[in-house]
Amino acid sequence: MSFSRLAGDGAPIRMWADPAGVEDQALAQLRNVAALPWVTGVAVMPDVHYGIGATVGSVIAMRGAVSPAAVGVDIGCGMTAQRTSLRAEDLPDDLSRLRSAIEKAIPVGQASHKRSVDVDHLRTGFRGWHGFWSEFDDLAAPAQSLKGRSMQQLGTLGGGNHFIEVCLDTRSQVWLMLHSGSRNIGNRLAQYHIEKAKSLPHNADLPDPDLAVFVSDTPTMEAYRRDLYWAQEYAARNRAVMMALLRDVMRTRFKKVSFDEEISCHHNYVSEEVHGGQELLVTRKGAIHAGAGRMGIIPGSMGASSFIVRGLGNPDAFESASHGAGRRMSRNKARRQFTTEDLAAQTAGVECRKDSGVVDEIPAAYKDIDEVIAAQSDLVEVTARLKQVVCVKG
């Protein structure tokens, strides 16, 4: 599929979604973002839907500015996946004990580790943990009381649409996959900077206060970028620790298991990139970097397929692709429309929660992941299709 253009008075808006199928609120958001004087272009992914400040499933390229609300409050949210040496026949028929072991090893929802995880014995792929934590003291004032909590939340899942899964690909190979972000510390830093941006005089006349920006070469921008990049790294380290803990669970139960290299990607973040010869600050809110040859992950819902993809480096999309299926209805609407019986039917064959606490995550609340993948054939190529057999949610 090639992109279509959304008419507006601002920077070009290129869409890999049918505008007729996108909420009016989301279209208005896209036009408002594109009208900002710092924006050079917007790319809209096929999983697009209404969000706060900016639409989820959008890529915003700015010159000399960044909008903290467009990044969102779960800074650095993203995915990690890893293929194992196990095959479907290696798994037990009853997967409930495996799910319980994962939930015991990795706190979910609002839970934290009782003490910070000893990362020294975990093969997380990250070095310099002491240096990373020493940078905490430079973060914005609201973070300073949260260091202990942040250390205990490292290696925890959270709630909402975050998950840990054991999956099978079409060749019956077992994969591990998880989705999480920067936990409470990212949220607190984001909220602080969003309010700070709204108070700046140059943001006084914006059509939406949530579009407030920081501009380059100012103390407020430098402070935000410092906290932003730290939180993005925290999110990546959080996923790495969870994946290491998940591997330990698998090793305990499958003595000869081995693991391929991890695939990991942010899908809620800012990156400094060059496009069209311009140095830009690219915000991907619900989108992954899909540079040529770059591996990524596009998950479905808790009862649908997920995809491992390789980027095609499409410059029209600022080398981006979708971050998932994307919601087609709000959480409140899903709770009103569906029952636990519906959830059980739509997650048949998956070892997972099937109670009222996760009805808002029912597969029918999300767009069809196959249609989302088909709409971006010029952005990524699929290398593996996965289907979960275990899904852990907070």
**Domain boundaries defined on the chain:** 4-328+366-393
Q: How confident is the model at residue 163 (pLDDT cuts 50, 70, 90)?
A: very high
**What's the CA gap between 133 and 197, in Å, rounded?**
26
**Residue range 311-332: average pLDDT?**
96
What lies within 8 Å, CB to CB, of 380 at 6+ separation is: 290, 296, 298, 309, 310, 311, 312, 321, 373
pLDDT at position 222:
98
Residue 300 labeled ligand binder: yes
Residue partners of 372: CB distance under 8 A and separation at least 6: 46, 47, 298, 322, 324, 325, 326
What single string gives the DSSP state of each residue in 58-89? EEEEESSEE-HHHH-SSTT-EEEEEEEEEEGG
Cβ neighbours around 364 below 10 Å, total: 17
Which candidate, 82, 239, 81, 72, places its Cα nearest to that of 154? 239
Residue 392: pLDDT over 80 = yes
Task: Report pLDDT digits (tens) over 66-84.
Answer: 999 999 999 999 999 999 9
Amino acid at 257: V
Per-residue pLDDT reduced to its tens digit, 89-112: 999 999 999 999 999 999 999 999
Chain CA centroid to CA 47, Å: 13
Ligand-binding site membership of 302 (annotated): yes
299 is in an annotated binding site: yes
Q: Are 35 and 48 in contact (CB under 8 A)?
A: no
325 is in an annotated binding site: yes
CATH architecture for the domain at 4-328+366-393: Alpha-Beta Complex (3.90)
Residues 222-236: what's their mean pLDDT? Answer: 98
Is pLDDT of 11 > 90? yes
**Mean pLDDT along residues 232-250:** 98
Q: For residue 111, what pLDDT is reported? A: 95
Angle, in degrees to the nearest 10, between helices 219-253 and 96-105: 140
Q: Is 301 annotated as a binding residue?
A: yes
Is 163 annotated in some ligand binding site? yes
Average pLDDT over residues 209-234: 97
pLDDT tens per residue across span 173-184:
999 999 999 999
Beta bridge partners of 163: 179, 393
pLDDT of res. 174: 98
Mean pLDDT (whole number) for 144-164: 96
The reported pTM is 0.96
**Burial group, residue 254, by CB count within 10 angstroms (0-12, 13-18, 19+):** middle
**1: pLDDT strictly greater than 70:** no
Q: 127 falls in which pLDDT band (50, 70, 90)?
A: confident
**Mean model confidence pLDDT for the chain:** 96
- Three-class secondary structure of residue 195 per DSSP: helix
Is the model's pLDDT at 123 over the cut of 90?
Answer: no
Catalytic residue among 193, 266, 289, 323: 323
Which phi and psi angles does 343 have, rounded to 5°? -60, -45
pLDDT of residue 387: 98
pLDDT of 85 reads 98
Q: What's the full length of the chain, in residues? A: 394
Would the pLDDT of 122 be above 90? no
**131 in a labelled binding site:** no
Choose the weakest-confidence range: 25-29, 53-57, 135-139, 180-184: 53-57
- 266 pLDDT more than 90: yes
Please report which confidence band the pLDDT of residue 12 belongs to, taking 50, 70 and 90 as the band edges: very high
Which percentage of the chain shows pLDDT scores above 70?
Answer: 100
Q: What is the pLDDT of residue 124?
A: 86
24 belongs to an annotated ligand binding site: no
Residue 202 annotated in active site: no
306 labeled part of a ligand binding site: yes
* Residue 234, burial from CB neighbour count under 10 angstroms (0-12, 13-18, 19+): buried
